[in-house]
Structure 1
Amino acid sequence: MIVGLVITCEVAFWLLLAAGLAVRYLLKRRRTSVALLLCEPLLEVVLFVATAVDLERGARPSWEHGLAALYLGFTVGYGRHTIRLLDGRAAHRLAGAPRPAKPPRYGLARARHEGRLWLRTLLAAAVALALLQTAIEYVGEGTATGPLRSWQWAALRIVAIHGVIALTYLLWPRKPPAGPAAREREGRTLTGR
């Protein structure tokens, strides 16, 4: 049941996002689009409540409950960022707004960008860890909480792996291509020509 609800929430997230952006830029109804986009957090509330009710009714903690916690953490860490990113692209394609800036590709600017993304991952993991710990304390410490503990370790591994990747951009920053021909070639790849 919980896995189906996670999948439903993910599909509904993208459908609401597409509908909100279409209403905003194709139908020119900003207030309606804001109302649609504000429904996004309700999806997470529904998932949270359903997971809590499932555990309250005596369901044995399983990987499904851990997946729900990780999904909720991800939406807290990356949901707003994703909406803002896609809003900029939709504004460019559908409303003639300037093309949104691409992430930096080189040097310390790229390292800062990767560091900010890692902070989002850290926030997502912190939310997931807090939800998992709350669930563990709710059902009681014991062997039944093994799947929840394994999801806690998964969240920590995700943070560590992403942290190492982000750190590589700081320790070994990528350098821009040298010479005018390389810069011209780089400019063509950025503009898509």
Structure 2
Amino acid sequence: MQLVAWAIVCCEILFWVFIVAGLIVRYGFRREKLGFRLMAMSPVIDIVLLVLTVFDLSRGSTATIAHGLAAIYIGVSLAFGKQMIAWADGMYRRFILREQVSRERISKARKERNGFYRHVLAFLIGGALLGAMILWLGDAKQTESLLRTLQLWGLVLVIDGVISMSYTVFPARSK
């Protein structure tokens, strides 16, 4: 497996290690600021992944799907990171601390729209990174897989948009 593919796996593991460590420090040791700092390391992990991706491409590597996935990972991490941390926080409080965690009551349609808007943000961030890599390398043959990754992600975004907005157009019936 390539350097960038391993980097993505390592970054995903590190993301959750920092989140869990932050939660343990925050609630187990009552060190809220340190816990927050540990959880705030996720953007640093994204920067490390970006540097590794650029380094690999600058060595003359032909861009692969792994390079495209690195851009997608960064976009998703930045767009959904806060939401994933809040989810992990709620799960920790609920299952480890046995607290009653109130859940925000929002309609399915609103939840789906919000998820789609985050997906659009992830696409804009990741797409900008993919576009920058394509322009930086400047070789259509070397960056062909990056362009295909962007096109496939665009198709996934359109499908997600149709499904997400269908809940607004055709709301679920009340029970």
For the 8 Å contact 1:25–1:94, the answer to whether it is kept is no
Summarize the alignment of residues 15-164 of structure 1 with structure 2, pairs less than 5 Å apart: 15-95=17-97, 97-101=99-103, 104=106, 109-164=107-162
Report the residue type matching 1:30 in the other structure. E
1:16-68 superposed Cα distances (whole Å, 9 cap, x missing partner) = 11111111112211122112112111110100011111111211111111111
Normalised TM-score (structure 1): 0.84
How many pairs does the alignment contain? 173
Structure 2 residue ranges without an equivalent (≥5): none
RMSD over aligned Cα, in angstroms?
1.6
Q: 1:16 is aligned with what amino acid?
A: F
Q: TM-score, normalised by structure 2?
A: 0.92
Which amino acid counterpart does residue 123 of structure 1 have in structure 2?
L
Partner Cα separation in structure 2 for residue 103 and residue 45 of structure 1: 35
Deviation at 1:89, TM superposition (A): 3.0
In the alignment, residue 80 of structure 1 is paired with which amino acid? K
Once the two structures are TM-superposed, the CA of residue 97 in structure 1 deviates from its matched residue by 4.8
C-alpha separation in 2, matches of 1:35 and 1:175: 43
Other-structure match for 2:5: 3
Cα deviation, residue 143, structure 1: 1.9
In structure 2, what residue type is equivalent to 1:6?
I
Q: Distance in 1 between matches of 2:20 and 2:27?
A: 11
Structure 1 position 95, deviation (Å): 4.7
1:169 matched residue in structure 2: 167
CA offsets 1:71-92 (integer angstroms, 9 cap, x no match): 1111011111110122133234
Structure 1: give runs of 5+ residues left out of the alignment: 178-193
- Percent identical residues: 29
Structure with greater Cα Rg: 1
